[in-house]
Structure 1
Amino acid sequence: MPKVRLAGTVAGEKDPNRQSRAKLLYRLFSKGWDIYNSNGDQRISLSNIEKKIIEADAFVFTPGATLEDLFKAVSIFVGYQTMDKNLANKPTVLLNTDGSWNGLLQLLDHLRQIGTVAQNPADYLLETDHVDGVLELLEKAREAGLPEIGRIPTGEIAGPSFDSPPPAENIGNVCVFCSASIEKEGYLKDGYDFGRMLAENRLGCISGAGNSGIMGEVVRGSVEAGGWAGGSNVPHIIELEGLPEGLSSFWLKPDIYTRMGVMIERSEAFVIFPGGAGTVQEMLALMIFKQQNKKGMSNKPVVIYNRPDESGRRFWDPMIRLLGEWCYDGEFTVVENLDEIIPTVKELL
C-alpha cells in the first residue's frame, strides 16, 4: 500500500485540529493509505529528513502550521525544484482549514513575482480547506503526476571534497544564503561587491557553491579579491548549476539537508541575501536551531539584507512578516543597505 507521511501535531484533547486530524486519518486509511507519523510525535532533523522523504509516497501537512512544519513543506518544494529523484511524483497537500499556511504561500508567490521562484508553488504544494479535498488531490496527483520543473541539467559531474583552512588572519566565516537563479544586473553586482567586501574585511565566504546567480557572484567577488571561499553542494544540483572556480574548500554532500548542515557548522555568522525558496528554507532552519538552543547557534548572528528595488519594494518584507509570528527580538537583524551588512556582522560577532 502507498505510504503517506503526516505532518503537524495535536496539542492535547482540546486542540481544535484534533477532530479534523481524526477524520483525515480515517479517510486516508479507508482509501488504502498506510500512515506514517499518525500521532504527530516524530521529530525531523537535517540528518534524517531525506530518509523520511525516501520512505514516503506522499506528504500531507495539517492545520496549525508551526515553524518546523513550514520548514518541512518548503524543503519538499525545494526538492521538487532541484529535481531530487527521491521526490519524483510524490505529491504534497496542505490542509489549510485555519489559514496557518497563508503566510508561507504568500511569501512563495511574492518570490515568484520577483523572479527567484520560476515554478508556480500552487502546482506542487496542493492546498485545500477540507479533509475530503486531501484525498481528491492525492489521487489526482498520483494519477497525473506533478508538472515538469523545466530545468535542463548541464551534465557537470561533481568532483571530490577538498579542504583548505582559512588563513590565520581571518576573523570568521560568513555564510551567504542567496539566489542561484536571479539574473538582474543590480542583484548580481551586489553579490560580487559583497564577496569582495568579505575578503577585504578578513572574513571567509561560505556558500552553497553554485556557479550561477547571486551565489556565483559572491564567490567570484571573494576569490578575485584574494579571499577564502568555502562551499557545499550535492551532485544533482551541481548538474543543474555547476561549480564556481577558485573555491578554497568544497564539501560534497549527498542531499540538501546535510549540505545545509555543514554550511551552518563552518560559519560564525549568516547573511540572508535576496533569494528563492531555498533561501527561505535556510532561514527557517536557522530560526529553528536558535529556538532549540542548538549547540553553536545561540551566538551566531543572522542578518537579513532586505534590499529595496527601484520601486521601493523591499525584497524580504513578506518573510519578515511571516517570521514575526514565531521569532523573538534579537534572533535576526534587518538592514536595507549593502554597506550596512559588514559593520552589522562585525558588531554582532
Structure 2
Amino acid sequence: MKSISVFCGSSEGNDSKIISEAYALGKTLAQSDITLVYGAAKIGIMGTVAQGTLDANGKIIGVIPHFLKTKEIVHTELAELIVTDNMHDRKVIMYDKSDGFIIIPGGFGTMDEFFEITTWGQLGLHTKPIGILNVNGYYDALIAQCKMMVARGFLKQENLDAVVVDTTIVGLLKKMKNYVPLPAPKWLNKERL
C-alpha cells in the first residue's frame, strides 16, 4: 500500500491513549513510506495523526470541503491540499487517492465515513482493505453491534470479516497488507461501474 486514508475525529476527545496512538499511527505510516490521506485539519485527532506523519518526514494529502475551511483549522504544512465542494466529494477523492482505509476514534463523521466505505466494499465497488484500530476498546460496542447485525440476519458474516480489526498499529497494517478481498457480487453489473 502506497497511501492510506485515515478516518478520525476533528475533536481530540479525553483519552490520552487514543491521542498517543493517533500520533504513533501517523509516524508509523511515514516510516513505512505510506502517504497519509486525511481530512486536512490541524486540530483534534486528525491534527495529531498529521503531526506524527510530519514529524517523521512523511507525505500527506489533505482533503476538505470548502465550507469547513472556515470552521476547521486547515493544516498548512501538507504536501497537497484538495478543497472540495461538499462532504461526498471529499470521501470520493479520499477513496480515489487511497489504497486502503483505517478508522480510528471519532464521532458521527467518522462513523459516516466508515459505513460508506464499508458499504462500497460490500457492494463490490472496491476491493481495498478497511481496518479498524480499536484503541483502548473504543470500538468494542461498534464491533458488538456488527455481530448483532450478523446474528439477526441483516449482515453476512463474510462482509463483517472483510473489515480487519486490531488493537495495535503494526498488527493492523500487517492484516491490511495480507488482506484478501471478497469476490465481486454475482449480481453486480460491471458495465455500470
- Tell me, in whole angstroms, the C-alpha distance in 2 between the residues paired with 1:206 and 1:252: 13
Aligned counterpart, 2:141: 318
Asked whether the 8 Å contact 1:199–1:228 carries over to 2, the reply is yes
Distance in 2, Cα, partners of 1:327 & 1:218: 32
**What are the residue-to-residue correspondences of 1:324-335 with 2, within 5 Å?**
324=147, 325=149, 326-329=155-158, 330-335=161-166
Return the letter of the residue paired with 1:290. Answer: G
**Range that drifts further, 197-206 or 323-332:** 323-332
Aligned-pair RMSD on alpha carbons? Answer: 1.7
Q: Structure 1 residue 206 and structure 2 residue 37: aligned?
A: yes
Q: What's the CA shift for 1:239?
A: 1.4
Q: TM-score, normalised by structure 2?
A: 0.82
> In the alignment, which residue of structure 2 is the partner of 1:301?
129
Q: Could you say which structure has the larger radius of gyration?
A: 1
Match of 1:250 in 2: 81
Contact 2:164 2:176 in 1 (8 A): no
Q: Any idea what SS the aligned residue of 1:275 has?
A: coil
Unaligned runs of 5+ in 1: 1-170, 309-313
Decide which of 167, 174, 177 is 1:336's aligned counterpart: 167
Structure 1 stretches of 4+ with a deviation exceeding 6 A read: none
Q: Is the 8 A contact 2:132 2:164 kept in 1?
A: yes
**2:40–2:64 contact (8 Å) kept in structure 1:** yes
The question of whether the paired residues in 2 share the 8 Å contact of 1:197 and 1:342 is answered with no
- Given that residues 234 and 254 in structure 1 are in contact (C-alpha distance below 8 angstroms), is that contact kept between their aligned partners in structure 2? yes
Unaligned 5+ runs, structure 2: 150-154, 181-193
Instruction: Give me the TM-score of the superposition, normalised by structure 1.
Output: 0.47
Pair 1:182-2:5 in alignment: no
Q: Distance in 1 between matches of 2:19 and 2:144?
A: 25
> Does 260-269 or 330-339 show the bigger shift?
330-339
How far does residue 327 in structure 1 lie from its aligned partner after superposition? 4.8
Segment drifting more, 328-337 vs 174-183 = 328-337
Q: Does 1:281 align with 2:97?
A: no
Give the secondary-structure state (helix, strand or coil) at the position aligned to 1:179: coil
After superposing the two structures, state which structure 1 stretch, 183-192 or 251-260, moved more. 183-192
**Percent same amino acid among aligned pairs?**
24
Query: Number of residue pairs matched?
Result: 171
Q: CA deviation at 1:216?
A: 0.5
Greater share of helix residues, 1 or 2? 2
